[in-house]
């Protein structure tokens, strides 16, 4: 069994920032994530325009840089999935490979794409249905695709996909996008991006792969078929809390915690998109990662 001062679950901006602050505070930190690449959700974001000081950086590059910075301070990274957390005097984490002992635990598992929940979605997964434009966009060169959603992810995905696709239909259930105004302006200036407002997808159809979407106008009830070869679903995220046993109190799947990261279990802290909060951004995840180390430090010292 390996022992550390702080075990951090999740290598997104919250977990990586916690590991940087933790190591700089003199604690041995291990970061556990089944994905060997640092960055969490941001590795799927083609361009991050609002992280201070690094305008236009790709999510992949930002994640790589944060991980390299954490490693330079001594943080250790293990490509392991945490299955259970048990508390004794210390914490014991069982992973899919080993056991880890730690004085404090930071939950920073983040969130994953929400499914749309319509017929055909699971049938055509990886056969035209995607949740990651940056991963799969290039497969749709000169083809018609659709993006579903009206938030920053949907709009940024549509902008990215317009590099490859012939037409990008941007299908949103309301008549106004939720994304930042600057992103909306940028997207709507691109001729290839065709917004379709007040419309929902009732089903995704095809044979071996996606060939069309069955759409419904929510204001008129009119139903239509739209021919597309790819559909990129960007309808928000859900917290990644379902696969670990022994977690603190949750609300709708999010760990209940404020900016301090303090949860219902002393010694377990939460940072980033995984916790109850209003604004889920890279900068607020990084902020949580710093704050949570102050709380973990106070907890560890109180046990001395």
Token pair of 209, please?
Answer: 């792969």
Nearest residue to 31 (alpha-carbon basis) of 113, 111, 100:
100
For the chain, the residue count is 304
- Catalytic residue set: 132, 135-136
Q: How far apart are CA 170 and CA 149, in angstroms?
A: 7
Segment interacting with ligand NAP (CB under 6 A) among 23-31, 129-137, 150-158, 220-228: 150-158
**Residue 187 within binding range of ligand NAP, rule CB under 6 A:** no
* Nearer residue to ligand NAP within complex by CB, 25 or 188: 188
Residues 215 and 199 sit within 8 Å (Cβ to Cβ) = yes
Residues 82 and 71 sit within 8 Å (Cβ to Cβ) = no
Chosen residue from 17, 45, 130, 291 binding ligand NAP by CB under 6 A = 45
Q: How far apart are CA 298 and CA 302, in angstroms?
A: 6
> Shortest Cβ distance from residue 304 to ligand NAP (Å)?
39
Residues within window 86-105 making contact with ligand NAP, judged by CB under 6 A: none
**Residue 203 within binding range of ligand NAP, rule CB under 6 A:** no
Chosen residue from 128, 149, 195, 272 binding ligand NAP by CB under 6 A = 149
Beta pairing, strands 99-107 & 268-270: parallel
The neighbouring-strand residues paired with 170 are 147, 195
**Residue 150 within binding range of ligand NAP, rule CB under 6 A:** yes
**Residue 284 within binding range of ligand NAP, rule CB under 6 A:** no
Residues within window 223-252 making contact with ligand NAP, judged by CB under 6 A: 234-237
Nearest residue to 284 (alpha-carbon basis) of 266, 257, 263, 265:
257
Chosen residue from 18, 29, 48, 102 binding ligand NAP by CB under 6 A = 48
Binding site for ligand NAP (CB under 6 A): 45, 48-50, 116, 148-154, 156, 173-174, 178, 200, 234-237, 280-281
């Amino acid at each position: 069994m390996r022992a550390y001062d702080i075990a951090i679950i999740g290598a997104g901006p919250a977990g990586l920032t916690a590991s940087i602050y933790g190591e700089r505070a003199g604690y041995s930190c291990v970061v556990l994530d089944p994905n060997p690449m640092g960055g969490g959700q941001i590795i799927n974001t083609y361009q991050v325009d609002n992280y201070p000081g690094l305008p236009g950086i790709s999510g992949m590059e930002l994640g790589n840089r944060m991980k390299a910075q954490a490693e330079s301070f001594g943080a250790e990274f293990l490509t392991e999935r945490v299955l259970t957390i048990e508390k004794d005097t210390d914490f014991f984490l069982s992973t899919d490979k080993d056991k880890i002992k730690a004085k404090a635990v930071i939950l920073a598992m983040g969130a994953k794409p929400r499914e749309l929940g319509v017929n055909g979605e699971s049938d055509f997964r990886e056969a035209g249905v995607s949740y990651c434009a940056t991963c799969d966009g290039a497969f749709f060169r000169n083809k018609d695709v659709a993006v579903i959603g009206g938030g920053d992810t949907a709009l940024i995905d549509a902008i990215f996909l317009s590099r490859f696709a012939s037409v990008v239909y941007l299908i949103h259930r309301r008549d106004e996008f939720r994304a930042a105004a600057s992103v909306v302006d940028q997207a709507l200036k691109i001729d290839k991006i065709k917004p379709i407002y007040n419309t929902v997808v009732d089903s995704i159809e095809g044979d071996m792969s996606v060939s069309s979407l069955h759409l419904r106008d929510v204001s008129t009830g009119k139903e239509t078929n739209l021919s597309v070869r790819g559909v990129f679903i960007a309808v928000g995220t859900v917290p990644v809390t379902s696969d670990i046993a022994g977690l603190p109190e949750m609300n709708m799947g999010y760990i209940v915690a404020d900016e301090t990261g303090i949860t219902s279990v002393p010694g377990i802290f939460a940072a980033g998109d995984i916790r109850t909060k209003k604004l889920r951004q890279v900068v607020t995840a990084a902020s949580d990662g710093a704050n949570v180390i102050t709380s973990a430090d106070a907890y560890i010292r109180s046990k001395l």
